[in-house]
Structure 1
Amino acid sequence: MSNLPNTPSAPSPDACPNTWYAVAFSADLKPGKILPVTLAGQDLILWRTKDGIPHAHSAYCPHLGAHLGYGGAVRDDQLVCSFHKFTYNSEGICTKTSHGAPPHKGRLAPKPVIETNNLIFVWHDNSGAPPDWTPPIFDSSIYRAHSTWQQESTGHPLDNAENPIDWIHLPVTHNAPVPTLNKPLLFDGPNYVLDMSIKNFWYNFTAECILTVSGPGIVVAQLVIPQTRISALEIFSWTPTSGNQMTSRKVTYATFLGDGIPRIPIVVEKALAAIVGYGSVRNIRRDLKIFTTRRYPKHAHLTSGEEDLAACRRWEKQFFESRQPDPVLRDS
C-alpha cells in the first residue's frame, strides 16, 4: 500500500476535539427537572428556565462540591443545591444561601448550549475558550413528526468526521457502491459538505443526498429518494462521554413530497420516519462494530483514491487549536 504525498497525521488520539456535541434529545429535558450528563469526562447538568430555554452548567456546587444533578432542584428559574441551599441563577451566579451572604467568588460554571432539531448541543473546549461558530440549523418545518435512536459504544471522537468520506469502506462494509458526487467536496470552515447520489444506504434505493458534517460531532443528511418520493432529514451526533465511551444519537424526519401526493396523517409520518431512520441505523451499526474494536491510527498509510480522507485529516486540525480561555466557562 503506497503513502499519499503530504498525508497528514491526525491529532493525538487521546485529545478531544473542541466542538459542539449533542448531550441529550430535547424530550429528555423536562421543565423543572435537572438532567445529569457527561461530556468528554466532565460531569454537567442541564435544566430549563420557565421560558423553555435550556441551560448547561458544571455539575458540582462550588461551595462544597455537591452534585446538583442528584438532589438539586429548579425553583423560580434558579438552581438550588440540596446540601446547603446555595442558589444559582442561569448565569451561574450565587444569589443566596441558607445561612449567610452569597460568596463573591465561586460561580457555577455555565456552558454554551444550543437547542435545535430536537437535540441539545453543548460546547466543549479543552482550554475553556468560548465557541467561535454555531451548529447550522436545518429547516424541519415541512415535517410534523420524527423518530429518535440512541446507542452506547466505544470509539474515537474523530471516527464520525472521517467515516462519510471513507469511500473505500462503503462497498466492503455496506455493500454499497462508491457515491457519485454531484458537486466537488467542499470544506468550509468548521463544516464540510457532500452533494451526492448514494445507493443501497437507505435500503436498496438511490438517494439524492446533501451531507453536512459540522465539526467532528455532527452529521446531517438532507435526502430525497426519487423512486418513493420520500423526503427526509437526519441529524446524527457522535459524543464522547468518558474515556473511549461514545454515545450515538440520531433524529429522523420523513414525509412524502410531490405533486398530487396528499398530506399523510401524523401517525403515518412518524412511522415513515422510523422506517427511514432504521435504514441508516443498520449501516451505522456496522461501522460501530468496527469502531468498538479498532485502534484509531494517528498516522494513516493511505492509498490512491483516499485523497479526500487526507484532506479531512488536515481539516480536523482546527478543532485542536488552543484559543484564549473565558474565565466564566471554567469551573470555579
Structure 2
Amino acid sequence: MDIDESSNPVHQPRLPYPDGWFAIAFSDELPRGKVIRRKFMGEELVAYRTRSGAAQVVDAHCPHLGAHLGFGGSVDGENIVCPFHHFAYDLTGKCVRTGDGSTPPRASLKPWASCEVNGFISVWRHAGGSAPTWQIPTLPVDEFPPPTRRAFTLVDHPQDVFENTVDLAHFAPIHGFQNAMIANPLQADGPHLGIPVTFERAFPLLGSVETKIVAVVHGLGCQHLTGRLDRFGADFLGQAMATPIDPVRVQTYFTLSVRSSGISACPDWAARTLSQILTQAVAPFYLTDVTKDFHIWSNKKYVEHPKLSRGDGPIMEYRRWARQFYSAPHAPGQGAAPEPEPS
C-alpha cells in the first residue's frame, strides 16, 4: 500500500527554493532532436537540443492552448514544435510559424537561462528574476576517463545535501572514516566555497588509506570534488548536484572519475585502460558511501539553531555563507529562509 509521506511533519518544506544554477539532466540524455520533460521547483519544463546542437530549456506548456511540449513535441531545425497545432517557437521563445500557415500570433514560450558544462545541462533560477551573475566553472577533465554516475530522487533540500561535507562528526559513525579534519579554513569566494578535507578509510586488502579532497560548492546546486588517493597512486574528480523538483524533494546526481597519476610514463592506451580500471574499482565505494546518508537526510528536519558539539565541524560558517542564495525570505508552500544567528 502506498503511503502519503507528505502528511509527515518531517517531510514538510525545510527551506525555500534557493537561487542559482541547478542541473536538470546529464548532457547525453539530450541528443539532437530530442525533447525531455523535467520537474523543477514545482514547475514543468522541457529541454530540447536543436539541429545545431544547442540545448534549450523552456516552459513546458504551449501558450496557444496549453499542450505539453514534452508529450509529442518535436524539434524542427532550431525550433521546437507543439504537438497540438504545430506552432513552432524559435530559440528566443517567439512563435515563428503556425501549423495551418496563418500569421503567427504574438505568443512566446518562456526560455530559461541555461548552460551546458561538465556533462550537465543546468538552469538558472532567481526568485526576483535576475539574470545569472556567476557561472559554474569548467572542470579539468584531461586524461580522466568517462565517469561512473548515478542519479537519485529523495526527500531533502540542497543546502542540507552540501552541509554534509562540513559535518565532520558523522564521517565515522555513518561512513567509517577516521581522523576526519578540515585541513585549512573554509575558502569563501562569493558564490563559491572551498572545503579542504582529509580522512582515512579502510579498503579490503589495503588497510587504512588516507584520502585528501577539496570540495568546492558552487551555489547550492553544484559541488566539485578533486582529490588524491596516495595508496592507489591516483587522482579523482567527482561532481554532486542537488536540484529541487518540488518543496520537499531533490533530484541528486553523482559522478566519479579516477586517473592514474603515473599516466605520463605510460603509452596512451595503457594509461586509459588503467584509469578506467581504477574508476570501476573505486566508484562503487564512493556511491555506497553516498547512499548511506539518504535515509537520514530523508527523515530529518531542519534545526535552525542546532546544539552543536566541538567535533561537528564548521556547520554554522557554511550556513552563513549559504544565506546569500535566498533572495526571497519566504514563499507559499516552502519553508522559512534561514534566520540570522542570535547575538
Q: In structure 2, what is the equivalent of residue 326 of structure 1?
A: none
Percent identity over paired residues: 27
C-alpha root-mean-square deviation of aligned residues, in Å? 2.2
Contact 1:147 1:251 in 2 (8 A): yes
Aligned to 1:328: none
Deviates more, 1:218-227 or 1:176-185: 176-185
Of stretches 186-195 and 141-150 in structure 1, the one that deviates more from structure 2 is: 141-150
Question: 2:43, 2:284 → 1: CA distance?
Answer: 31
Q: Which residue type is aligned with residue 306 of structure 2?
A: A
Distance 1:42 1:274, change over 3 A: farther
- Offset at 1:306? 4.2
Q: Give the corresponding residue for 2:104.
A: 102
Cα distance, 1:307 vs structure 2 = 6.1
Structural mapping, 1:157-176, within 5 Å: 157-176=158-177
Alpha-carbon distance between aligned partners in 2 of 1:271 and 1:97, rounded to the nearest angstrom: 53
* Among 289, 295, 314, the residue aligned to 1:289: 295
Question: Is 1:225 equivalent to 2:229 in the alignment?
Answer: yes
Matches within 5 A, 1:1-332: 13-99=14-100, 100-104=102-106, 106-200=107-201, 204-258=208-262, 260-263=265-268, 264=270, 266=272, 269-306=275-312, 308-322=314-328
Q: 1:245 to 1:181 in 2, by over 3 A?
A: closer
TM-score normalized by structure 1? Answer: 0.87
Matched residues in 1 for 2:39 and 2:326: separation?
A: 20
Matched-pair contact (CA < 8 Å) for 1:79–1:89: yes
Give the structure 1 partner of residue 332 of structure 2: none
Name the CA distance, whole Å, in 1 between partners of 2:197 and 2:77. Answer: 50
Moved more, 285-294 or 92-101: 92-101
- How far residue 51 of structure 1 moved from its aligned partner, in angstroms, is 2.6
Q: Which amino acid aligns with 2:241?
A: S
SS in 1 for 2:57: strand
Point out where structure 2 has 5 or more consecutive residues left out of the alignment: 1-12, 330-343
> Offset of 1:202 from its aligned partner?
8.2
Letter in 1 for 2:315: L
* Shift in Å, 1:95: 0.7
Structure 1 residue 50 displacement after superposition:
2.2
Question: What is the alpha-carbon distance in structure 1 between the residues aligned to residue 139 and residue 203 of structure 2?
Answer: 20
What 5-or-longer segments of structure 1 have no aligned partner? 1-11, 324-332
What is the rounded CA distance, in whole Å, between the counterparts of 2:258 and 2:135 in structure 1? 25
